[in-house]
Amino acid sequence: MSWNSHHRQPRWSRWVQTLKRLWEFAWKGGLTLFIPILLVIGWYAWQASKFDLSEVSRMPERTVLIDRHGAEIGTIHGANRRLVENDEIPGFLQSCLFAREDARFMDHEGVDFWGLARATLRNARDLDFTQGASTLSMQLARNTFDLREKKSLNRKFLEIALTYRIESKFSKPEILTAYLNRIYFGSGFNGIEEASLNYFDRPTSKLTRGQCALLVGIIRAPHACSPWRNLEGAIRQRDEVLTRLVTTGVISQSDADTIKSEPLELRDPNAENLETGHGTRVLRRPLEIVLNKTQITTGGLKVMTSIDFKLQRELEKIVQKSVLPAGCQMAAIALDPGNGDVLGVVGCREENPTGFNRALDSHRDLGPVMIEPLIGTIALERGHLPIEGNPVSTGRQLQVQDAIQLLKRFGFEGTFGKGDDLYRGTLSVSPLELATAYATILQNGSRPNPVFVREIVQNDESLFARSPAFFPAFADHSRLKKIPAFISGTSLPETDFWAATLSPDKVIVVWIGHDSPVAFDLDTKEITKITRSLKNLMR
């Protein structure tokens, strides 16, 4: 008898087969998903490789102008930013930043996946990109490379790829420093140092705890919560930062209450400007001659100028507070005859100059009183004695063309009058030229070369330096003729008023008149006040 025996497969074997099939399915399915994921990662890594990472730490900043005594007198060119080093950032400010923006900054590799997962779930629930979960490193990547595309997966993936590149190249302290140097703090201030100096009139390293918390607080809404624009909103943001510090155990509630009670010492935005608008603007011209376009755009230089900040401000006050006839303009310039340093320049009566600089570029006739010391000097050069109080008679001892050539040694470029008109002061000069001419007499015939910029430094390296220079214009006639300490007078048609004070360490020249020459009467009391003010500056 034949029969087919049926051997039933053991239960455990069936489980093995089932698990094997599941494994094969999972492996094949995983591989199917893995390949596209790998391609996506490769694509964004390739896209991220196109960006220059040196841009992270290289950012435009203001060029700082330093006066002859080492005081800062203003900034120019570049972006409204000053860079700080990591050791200048207070520890409390860092704690505030971590608590508010990125609690796991020191632990993650650029992307906080726990935070990203929470944000993803929230976005899925809201059906919108309401949560970003950006770390400090991700924010740095976005701000450095201007990733302003509307929130999307494409922007986020590129941001993540760039973040990993940044984390692989820079240390955590470097990333933190670059972040604080780059971000915007409202009111036109880029970077923590610019914000600190302007909002609180102190460097970042000297910020109080309350000031640190406030600056960190306004990062998320720098325009809306600028303390100059919305102090109440800024304080509210400060308090949120302090609350977060309490929650994370960095400070106690009593510490937070103490910080809230401390005065913010916020600088008044309407307070007197710490810079000199006239002194800053006049330096643009020489700097644009010395620097190339890249250096101007990038900024970050320290310019050692000839300006004496205190004297500059005093000249500005004299010009702006003088009571003059309607339509009259005024200019002033101060020069150090010993080395040619331009100590101060005021090119107009307006507080914020915008255009033509009359101290440098306006050329007007001198008149007999102001030209007399110059005519006396050129007469001595040719062996003639000056006739005191009579520049015309003194000049007649010379040939006119010879006189013109001698006057050019002072640095005058014309226009020169003809015959006796020249000796009556028909000589068109700028205040700077006249100051230089008087300085030449004080220097016994050596004409100083006027200088606005002494040295330009970048990263402690000197890019440009200029030593005092003199042109031997005349022989030494100091034993024969002394120039007065104060001179004032008008041009012959009485369209221009001039005044000058002279001493071994400074020459100050003031001009008053209309831009289009018009005769005018200057009040005697006002002349006396201006004269007294100028003489006070010589003390």
| Over residues 141-165, mean pLDDT | 83
At residue 6 the predicted structure's pLDDT band, cuts being 50, 70 and 90, is very low
- Phi/psi at 512 (5° precision): -135, 135
Residue 523 has pLDDT above 70, yes or no: yes
Instruction: Please give the residue that has the higher pLDDT: either 11 or 366.
Output: 366
At residue 370 the predicted structure's pLDDT band, cuts being 50, 70 and 90, is very high
User: Is-contact 363 356, C-beta < 8 A?
Assistant: no
- Return the pLDDT at 130: 43
Residue 331 has pLDDT above 90, yes or no: yes
- Return the pLDDT at 129: 45
- Return the pLDDT at 351: 84
Coil, strand or helix: which one is 334? strand
Place of tokens 């002279």: 502
Q: What is the three-state SS of 392-451?
A: HHHHCCCCHHHHHHHHHCCCCCCCECCCHHHHCCCEEECHHHHHHHHHHHHCCCEEECCE
The alpha-helical segments, DSSP class H, found in 291-399 are 293-298, 309-321, 358-361, 368-381, 391-395
| Over residues 421-434, mean pLDDT | 97
Under CATH, what is the fold of the domain 313-451+468-537? Beta-lactamase (3.40.710)
- Return the pLDDT at 46: 84
DSSP 186-216: STT-BSHHHHHHHHHSS-GGG--HHHHHHHH
Domains 81-261 and 313-451+468-537 share a fold: no
- Cα 412 from Cα 421, distance rounded (Å): 16
Most confident of 124-133, 215-224, 353-362: 215-224
CB atoms within 10 A of CB 176: 23
- Return the pLDDT at 270: 78
10 Å CB burial of residue 38 (0-12, 13-18, 19+) is exposed
Q: Give tens-digit pLDDT for 449-491.
A: 999 999 999 988 999 999 999 999 999 987 666 788 999 999 9
Beta bridge partners of 512: 330, 497
Place of tokens 């001039």: 498
Residue 305 has pLDDT above 80, yes or no: yes
Average pLDDT, the chain: 88
Q: Which distant-in-sequence residues (6+ apart) come within 8 Å of 306 by Cβ?
A: 68, 336, 340, 341, 342, 343, 451, 452, 453, 454
Residue 366 has pLDDT above 90, yes or no: yes
Q: Is omega for the bond preceding 415 within 30 degrees of 0, making it cis?
A: yes
Run of H or E residues at 242: helix 231-247
Q: Using CA atoms in the order 347, 349, 353, 358, what is the torsion angle rounded to 10 degrees?
A: -20
Q: Give tens-digit pLDDT for 234-268.
A: 999 999 999 999 999 999 999 999 999 999 999 98
Q: Using CA atoms in the order 83, 88, 91, 95, what is the torsion angle rounded to 10 degrees?
A: 0
At residue 3 the predicted structure's pLDDT band, cuts being 50, 70 and 90, is very low
Residue 448 has pLDDT above 70, yes or no: yes
User: Is-contact 512 358, C-beta < 8 A?
Assistant: no
First and final C-alpha spacing in the chain: 140
At residue 302 the predicted structure's pLDDT band, cuts being 50, 70 and 90, is very high
Indicate the length of the chain as a whole number. 539
Q: Which long-range contacts (CB under 8 A, 24 or more apart) does 498-502 make?
A: 498/366, 498/367, 498/369, 498/370, 498/434, 499/527, 499/530, 499/531, 499/534, 500/370, 500/434, 500/435, 500/438, 501/534, 501/535, 501/537, 501/538, 502/438, 502/442
pTM tops 0.95, yes or no:
no
- Return the pLDDT at 26: 56
- Is CATH 1.10.3810.10 what the domain over 81-261 is classified as, yes or no? yes
- Cα 422 from Cα 399, distance rounded (Å): 11
Residue 42 has pLDDT above 80, yes or no: no
Coil, strand or helix: which one is 530? helix
Domain boundaries, the chain: 12-49, 81-261, 313-451+468-537
CA 255 to centroid of chain Cα atoms: 37
Q: Give tens-digit pLDDT for 78-134.
A: 888 999 999 999 999 999 999 999 998 998 888 887 766 665 565 556 554 444 568
Run of H or E residues at 527: helix 524-537
Q: Which distant-in-sequence residues (6+ apart) come within 8 Å of 411 by Cβ?
A: 433, 436, 437, 440, 447, 471
Q: Give tens-digit pLDDT for 23-36.
A: 555 555 555 665 66
Report the relative pairing of strands 302-305 and 63-66 from DSSP bridges: parallel
User: Is-contact 307 64, C-beta < 8 A?
Assistant: no
| Over residues 389-409, mean pLDDT | 96
10 Å CB burial of residue 13 (0-12, 13-18, 19+) is exposed
- Quick one: which of 477, 476, 451 has its CA closest to 464? 451
CB atoms within 10 A of CB 426: 21
